[in-house]
Structure 1
């Protein structure tokens, strides 16, 4: 049984599929010094935009969870926007990629790339 999101440092849930995909990408590159960073930045047609990328930096105030061998990192400014969100990986005919289901988003744009 996994711990509830509130018990994690980042407040995020990283599904097994997302953790496995991230770990696979890191292993493929032969990198064990990178973390999966999720951030919220101003931008997009709805006001805020997600950023999801591998990062070798450590920022002051970062929150870190280790899930499935992957360090999941969220900066201190993004934590309130992402609390309780779930990061998943989809690999279907319709779509492939990481997805973020965020209960804090009041609305999103038609492209699904930004939220408010």
Structure 2
């Protein structure tokens, strides 16, 4: 089944960046969560970076897309594209 995969990968000016994509794969060590019929998958390497984080989808005239509020992020770059 198709799920929203949230991963943390090296990149950006602050060192880490989020990747969100739809995925059919199930990897060893994945954590699967269900939110109102939407399955969210996090791999075991990304899970420590995402503990306590909340995700939302914003649909406004000036901004559209997923937002992640992550208490583990100690800072981010000026453009907000990456964190550390």
Deviations 1:27-79 (A, max 9, x none): xxxxxx21000000011110001000100111100000111111110000111
Map of 1:66 onto structure 2: 34
Q: How many residues align?
A: 84
Once the two structures are superposed, the pairs formed by residues 18-97 of structure 1 within 5 Å of their partners are: 33-97=1-65
Runs of 4+ aligned structure 1 residues displaced above 6 Å come to none
> Which structure's residues are more often strand, by fraction?
2
TM-score (structure 2 length as normaliser)? 0.96
Stretches of structure 2 lacking an aligned partner (at least 5 in a row): none
TM-score (structure 1 length as normaliser)? 0.71
Partner Cα distance (1:39, 1:49) in 2: 8
> Which structure's residues are more often helix, by fraction?
1
Stretches of structure 1 lacking an aligned partner (at least 5 in a row): 1-32
The two structures, once aligned, show a CA RMSD in angstroms of 0.7
Partner Cα distance (1:112, 1:68) in 2: 28
CA offset at residue 96 of structure 1?
0.6
Deviations 1:71-116 (A, max 9, x none): 1100001111000001001111220111101010010011111000
